[in-house]
Amino acid sequence: MSSATQLFAQHPHAWEVLQPLARRRQLSRDEMLLHHGDAATQLWLVESGWVKLTRHTPDGKETIVGLCTAGDVLGEAALFPYASYPYDAETISDDAVLLGFPAETLRTLLQKDAALSASVMELLNQRVSQTQLKLEHMSTLTAAQRLGCFLLRLCHAHEGAANLKIPVEKHVLAAYLGMKPETLSRSQQQLKAVGVEVNGHGVKVNQIANLREFVCGSCSESGSCDVEMALDE
């Protein structure tokens, strides 16, 4: 659920109630914030840094179901009574700051405020769409296109060309994009052909439009996805 800041901006009365109750946590790298299966007692808003959301299978595999940064919300299970967190949440950057909001207060607010409920429903629906799109990308996009899509999201607020920094470790990025680390390396090489140069964590996108053409021509959201809309603003 991104654009949480927008949610609270639209509902100042809810924010007035929640802000004084917020619990601020400053975490170092590799600290656990939430455990899969624990009772969902708080909803968390990322103020800065990066948090990865993971799930583990009984036979020892890890999958990354989300990467959250400033403005993102995690632990939406807290919106529902008797729910538990559906993933582990662990910091993957040095300077993560998060705000935790008590679940019970949130649920009381939602019961009283139909407009707030409508906004939360809309955010949940966005989350469904984003996850469905990610699922689509796993079967229709090549690995290089999936990497390109991730880079386009980082291009947000840039125009024409962009100098970016990949904000997470390469093995985390590879797992998030559903590929092996060696496939990620190969994908980086392939993106050279559309003017994308990757050096370590630094990325130079020479023409955002070229990268977009390469990626979005194979995506059913082409023309209406939030990445493209952000770039067009």
- Give the interface with a second copy as residue ranges (CB under 8 A): 36-37, 55-59, 61, 63, 65, 76-77, 79-80, 86, 110-112, 114, 117-118, 120-122, 124-125, 127-129, 131-132, 134-136, 138-140, 178, 216-220, 222, 224
What is the smallest separation between the CB atom of 56 and a second copy, expressed in angstroms? Answer: 6
Torsion sign, CA atoms 74, 75, 78, 80: positive
Bridge partners, 84 (sequence order): 39
Q: CA dist 85 to 42, 54, 108, 159, 176, Å? A: 10, 11, 20, 38, 19
What is the smallest separation between the CB atom of 105 and a second copy, expressed in angstroms? Answer: 15
Cβ atoms of residues 203 and 183 within 8 Å: no
What is the smallest separation between the CB atom of 77 and a second copy, expressed in angstroms? Answer: 7
What is the smallest separation between the CB atom of 227 and a second copy, expressed in angstroms? Answer: 15
When the beta carbons of 139 and 199 are compared against a second copy, the nearer one is: 139
β pairing state of 202-205 and 196-199: antiparallel
What is the smallest separation between the CB atom of 179 and a second copy, expressed in angstroms? Answer: 9
**Closest by CA position to 155, among listed 46, 228, 54, 80:** 228
When the beta carbons of 103 and 120 are compared against a second copy, the nearer one is: 120
Cβ atoms of residues 43 and 33 within 8 Å: no
When the beta carbons of 26 and 131 are compared against a second copy, the nearer one is: 131
When the beta carbons of 58 and 200 are compared against a second copy, the nearer one is: 58
Integer distance in angstroms from the first to the last C-alpha of the chain?
A: 21
Structure tokens at 180: 């092996």
Structure tokens at 215: 């990626």
- In 163-207, which ranges are continuous DSSP H helix? 170-176, 181-191
What is the smallest separation between the CB atom of 135 and a second copy, expressed in angstroms? Answer: 5
What is the smallest separation between the CB atom of 209 and a second copy, expressed in angstroms? Answer: 15
φ, ψ dihedrals at 85, nearest 5°: -65, 135
Cβ atoms of residues 46 and 75 within 8 Å: no
